[in-house]
Structure 1
Amino acid sequence: MGRMITTLLGTAALAAALPAAAQTITTPEGAQMSAATDLAYKPGELTPEQLSSSTRDLFAQDSMNVFRRYPREKTAEMVKFYTEALALRSLSPIQLTSTQQMLLTGVGSGQIKLSAGQQGNRKYDLSGGITGGTGIRFFLLSYPDKAVVEQRFAAAGFAKPEFVKRPDGAFQAQVTDPGGFPIVILVRPGAKDGSNDGVGVGISVSDLDKSRAFYREFVGLDELPPVEATLIGTTLYPYRHKETTLLLYHAGDNLPQDNGSAGIQYVVRDTPMVDAKAKHRGGIAVETPLNKLAGFDLVTVWLNDPDGVTNYFAQVGPNSRTAQQARATK
């Protein structure tokens, strides 16, 4: 996946070894970015308290964005599934390269991003469904009316979801998108249509203690009480930022890894600060080092959680597409 850097020490060594003309970084989605070493904080600029705190106070959006990578030949079906069957808002795509688009769908203040192509040396294994491996294994979307959901699926040419009643009285169904990724549909009273009041992201982890510490202490999400998911047969450990909740769970030992099919994006006010905090902690794998894309008014750093799940942090300036779309929806 572009230039895979697994340690911060390796990033520094590589940057020092390359000439200035070679400081171009390819993101996992194929965008050509410039290394942003000039934006990095210098030693001594930040206090120990700043460096050791979580990234939470840097968040600039009331949700996290999530993305789905899928086989390119499934693009038309994927768009139909997410915008017609699931009724997510269709937003203008981002043209990353001459051949690569990021298709965007709106969910509340956040987005589910659809990226055609399974780039690089990421691992893709959705066999076994929700409990068949580690990585992001499902999205949870909520709706107020079961009959409307069924009608939308039928109208879009997809099989109707088979709902079952949960112990709490809500209805739940599990479907898969055309790329084979599970979607859990929850129908409950008071939910906003199109899941516009929130998205759940199910992450199967190999070590609960390590993953919970990463999302609680480094990312800084709200840790909520565990939830018994009887229909899945496991305990979920929720970590929330306003509209988006990550649902961590352990499905077994020595499971296949999928760290490519889906990932998480945080919109932040200061990406170089995130970079500095990760370097200070040590042990956080870097997928794509600190970089910038002037035409998009964007600065990002791509980090990995303990199971290799992409956690990328994006600082968007006032002229970025993300900022313009946020203003347009207010």
Structure 2
Amino acid sequence: MKRNTLLALGCAALAIAGCAAHAQDNAAPAAGGTRTTTTPEGALMQIDEDLPYKPGTLTQEQLMSPTRSLFVLNGMNVFRRFPRENTAEIVKFYTEALKLRSLNPIQLTSSQQMLLTGVGSAQIKLAAGQQGNRKYDMSGGYKAGTGIRFLTLTYPSEQDVIASFTAAGFPAPSFGDRGDGTRAAMVNDPSGFPLELVIRAGAKPGSNDGVGVNINTSDLERSRAFYREFVGLDELPPVEDKLLGITRYPFRHGETTISLYHTGTNEPADNGSAGIQYVVSDTPMVDAKAKARNIAVETPLNKLRGFELITVWLNDPDGVTNYFAQVNASAQPASNGGTGRR
């Protein structure tokens, strides 16, 4: 990843932290009647009426084209939200057992922390504290229920993974043959969220090839259309996973693969335990495209002033948060030079 992109991501993270900390003491509208909104991570953001593109500004082709052309990272970030009392064990699990790169944590509020771990050029963001009215129910495991049911990480050595788990004090994973030349094991993190550990020859240590996001859908075709036509990810051929007993429908961007599947059951639903983040060059454009397609909005288009951070939180057909962040708005080629007025 380029150094300026890393700096921008760091500034965005710090901006969210500062905003969220302020949110604890200032839940009322800002001075002058400015409207605010709260993200699923607890950050208080400003809604600026000048941010959206004005009606008639964009062509139908622009409105109906995918968001993919706006991506500025070679992959996506992933949120993993968990009860804050599990923080110490979560840190140990992700950094010692899974061997993900530990990055500087962010204190969102006095009681809520965001822990950052590196996976390739992107991140798994561990959000301590479950905010808002999201659903948290992983009781059905990966074979029952909707939402992001597990993440996939890759490693070059089965024995190294077993050694890191036992050294960290966690049970050793039990690997099985996937029938495609790879082996895999399912494990649960300390808050009960499943992860699939895949052993593949030539994989980078610490899962630095990237991360897989696996979503059990209530309506497979509707979800495929969302990630293919609205998000614009590359749709790959379906893969039959004999070890897990599911057929995956993968969609890829760079280092990240989103795999959709359907097990024939819709309960329990979980749209809070994990989410997806895209770093983009023009969040108001994403917002306009979403409105044109009637995509469900979780947190409306907003800005954190002073840090040039513009975000919008959308939901996929099963309520999985798809969070789009423009992290250096003043330097981006928006229609007015990046100030947000259109």
Give yes or no for TM over 0.5. yes
Asked if 1:80 corresponds to 2:80, the answer is no
Asked if 1:93 corresponds to 2:105, the answer is yes
**Could you tell me whether the CA contact under 8 Å between 1:285 and 1:304 is conserved in 2?**
yes
Distance 1:159 1:319, change over 3 A: farther
* Structure 1 alignment gaps of length 5 or more: 1-17, 321-330
Whichever residue aligns with residue 135 of structure 2, its letter is K
* Aligned with 2:212 (options 200, 204, 215): 200
Asked if 1:293 corresponds to 2:308, the answer is no
**Could you tell me whether the CA contact under 8 Å between 1:296 and 1:319 is conserved in 2?**
no
Q: Report deviation, 1:48.
A: 1.1
Q: Secondary structure at the match of 2:151?
A: strand
Match of 1:10 in 2: none
Q: Secondary structure at the match of 1:151?
A: helix
Provide the rounded CA distance (Å) in 1 between the counterparts of 2:327 and 2:127.
Answer: 19
Comparing 90-99 with 100-109, greater Cα deviation is found at: 90-99
Match of 2:328 in 1: 317
* Aligned with 1:158 (options 140, 158, 170): 170
* Aligned with 1:40 (options 52, 55, 64): 52
Q: Report deviation, 1:96.
A: 2.8
Provide the rounded CA distance (Å) in 1 between the counterparts of 2:276 and 2:80.
Answer: 9
**Could you tell me whether the CA contact under 8 Å between 2:51 and 2:284 is conserved in 1?**
yes
The correspondence of residues 162-201 of structure 1 with structure 2, limited to 5 A, is 162-201=174-213
Q: Report deviation, 1:319.
A: 9.6
Match of 2:313 in 1: 302
Provide the rounded CA distance (Å) in 2 between the counterparts of 1:133 and 1:277.
Answer: 29
Comparing 181-190 with 288-297, greater Cα deviation is found at: 288-297
Number of paired residues?
302
Provide the rounded CA distance (Å) in 1 between the counterparts of 2:167 and 2:184.
Answer: 20
Asked if 1:269 corresponds to 2:284, the answer is no
**Could you tell me whether the CA contact under 8 Å between 1:203 and 1:249 is conserved in 2?**
yes
Whichever residue aligns with residue 297 of structure 1, its letter is E
The correspondence of residues 94-243 of structure 1 with structure 2, limited to 5 A, is 94-243=106-255
**Could you tell me whether the CA contact under 8 Å between 1:74 and 1:178 is conserved in 2?**
yes
Q: Secondary structure at the match of 1:130?
A: coil
The runs of at least 4 consecutive aligned structure 1 residues that moved more than 3 Å come to none
Match of 1:247 in 2: 259
**Could you tell me whether the CA contact under 8 Å between 1:216 and 1:222 is conserved in 2?**
yes
Deviations 1:46-82 (A, max 9, x none): 1111111000000010000001111111000001100
Provide the rounded CA distance (Å) in 1 between the counterparts of 2:52 and 2:31.
Answer: 18
Q: Secondary structure at the match of 2:103?
A: strand
Provide the rounded CA distance (Å) in 1 between the counterparts of 2:99 and 2:151.
Answer: 15
* Structure 2 alignment gaps of length 5 or more: 1-29, 332-342
Provide the rounded CA distance (Å) in 2 between the counterparts of 1:20 and 1:235.
Answer: 53
**Could you tell me whether the CA contact under 8 Å between 2:140 and 2:268 is conserved in 1?**
no
Whichever residue aligns with residue 169 of structure 2, its letter is G
The correspondence of residues 57-72 of structure 1 with structure 2, limited to 5 A, is 57-72=69-84
Provide the rounded CA distance (Å) in 2 between the counterparts of 1:36 and 1:314.
Answer: 16
Q: Report deviation, 1:184.
A: 0.3
**Could you tell me whether the CA contact under 8 Å between 2:144 and 2:265 is conserved in 1?**
no
Q: Secondary structure at the match of 2:58?
A: coil
Q: Report deviation, 1:119.
A: 1.4
Provide the rounded CA distance (Å) in 1 between the counterparts of 2:319 and 2:241.
Answer: 24
Match of 1:26 in 2: 38
Provide the rounded CA distance (Å) in 1 between the counterparts of 2:330 and 2:118.
Answer: 19
Distance 1:187 1:278, change over 3 A: same
Deviations 1:278-303 (A, max 9, x none): 11112x11000001113443110000
Provide the rounded CA distance (Å) in 2 between the counterparts of 1:281 and 1:92.
Answer: 38
Provide the rounded CA distance (Å) in 1 between the counterparts of 2:183 and 2:31.
Answer: 58
Q: Secondary structure at the match of 2:212?
A: strand
Comparing 225-234 with 293-302, greater Cα deviation is found at: 293-302
> TM-score normalised to the size of structure 1?
0.88
